[in-house]
Copies of this chain bind each other. A is one copy, B any other.
């Protein structure tokens, strides 16, 4: 099968936004794209049918840390990889587990070798190294796999940020080496994306982008942003990274973000996004719509029988009303979690599709500037 390829189909005149086509062995992805997060092999509260038919997700994300712990490699390998295990025949991307080791795991210890950590489920001890993480991602079998990195918290002092970045770079070399030594497991090609780190230091970000760019990977990611720093700082570093990372390769900004974060970062040259926000916030009664943000828990929606969102061309989001959705939330019905998650993902996928259409039409930047205040409105 074939290595991931990326073709640019259009650029916005007034910004750095680009539209592209990303080809993997499990199908084609039109960029800019948002990737729903399916942490443990399920996009929370959303069925695979809903993900395909309602959301029309083109690629989803899995978390290596979670999948390694549960169901574990033995089950995933016996299933023939995550695609078959969960019943998803479109592209999958897995992160490297680096982020989770530092955000979720119990006691952990970082060495040159890797990261020793305790499972957040049962306290068992595990060692992630660049090599083991490549091997684990081989077993999971995603189309796009991520390098093992350390994601420093915000804020980090300069010395720590530099030390951490240098370690991430050395780990990156080991990832590439290990991947080259191991064959694709399930017949399709797995493509490694390196991750730029460097915290909030411009010179470190530049050094990291240059190092990453030098690897000639088929796609590149920016990590360590959207970890608590001010939005303007995220945009500044994303813009800076986009200037250095190769223009002919897809750029993935990890863990971002709100609808307006996504539009702003598209305008800077980002092509790929993932975030738990549409599903997690949905489970907490927050709906993102084409007219603004709704807290559906609010009494004001009690007798509002208008659709959740009639502006995104989704039969699902038009089927359920605000009043019914509020009732589901108040009555703690499980369906509330599903409807909110499916709707929010419908909205996110609609948003990136609109962005793409406007890039191709050449009016992305003005559309974006009109949309952002609308999307931010608290309804």
Q: Which residue of B lies closest to A48 (CB)?
A: B319
Q: Is A323 a contact of B45 with CB atoms below 8 Å?
A: no
**Cβ contact within 8 Å between B305 and A79:** yes
Residues in B neighbouring A49, C-beta threshold 8 A: 316, 319
A45→B75 CA distance, assembly (Å): 27
A41 within 8 A of B: yes
Q: What's the number of copies of this chain in the assembled complex?
A: 2
Evaluate contact between A334 and B85: CB separation under 8 angstroms.
no
Instruction: Say how far A322's CB is from chain B's closest CB, in angstroms.
Output: 11
Question: Cβ of A151 < 8 Å from any Cβ of B?
Answer: no
Measured between beta carbons, the chain B residues less than 8 angstroms from A42 are 328, 331, 333-335
> Does more than half of chain A's interface fall in helix, strand or loop, or is it mixed?
helix
Asked whether A305 and B78 contact (CB < 8 A) given A41-B324, A319-B49, A324-B86, the answer is yes
Cβ-defined contact, B335 with A44, below 8 A: yes
On whether the beta carbons of B87 and A335 are closer than 8 Å, the reply is: no
Please report the C-alpha to C-alpha distance between residue A303 and residue B85 in the assembled complex, in whole angstroms.
10
Measured in the bound complex, the distance between the Cα atoms of B338 and A319 in whole Å is: 19
Cβ-defined contact, A79 with B323, below 8 A: yes
Taking CB as reference atom, which chain B residue is nearest A328?
B42
Is the beta-carbon distance between B331 and A70 smaller than 8 angstroms? yes
- The residues in A between 76 and 123 inclusive whose CB is less than 8 angstroms from any CB of B are 78-79, 84-87
Q: How far is the CB of A36 from chain B (nearest CB, A)?
A: 13
**Distance in angstroms between the alpha carbons of A330 and B67 in the assembled complex:** 12
CB-based contact A323/B44 at 8 Å: no
Query: Across chains A and B, which 3 residue pairs bring their CB atoms closest together, nearest first?
Result: A45-B334, A71-B327, A42-B335
Sample of 15 more A-B contacts, CB < 8 Å, known A47-B338, A70-B331, A71-B330: A40-B327, A40-B331, A41-B328, A42-B334, A49-B316, A71-B323, A71-B327, A75-B327, A78-B323, A79-B321, A79-B323, A85-B323, A86-B324, A87-B319, A334-B334
28 contacts between A and B (CB under 8 A): A40-B333, A41-B328, A41-B331, A42-B335, A44-B335, A45-B334, A46-B335, A47-B335, A47-B338, A48-B320, A49-B319, A70-B327, A71-B302, A71-B327, A71-B330, A71-B331, A75-B323, A78-B323, A79-B303, A79-B323, A84-B305, A85-B321, A85-B323, A86-B324, A87-B320, A87-B324, A334-B334, A338-B338
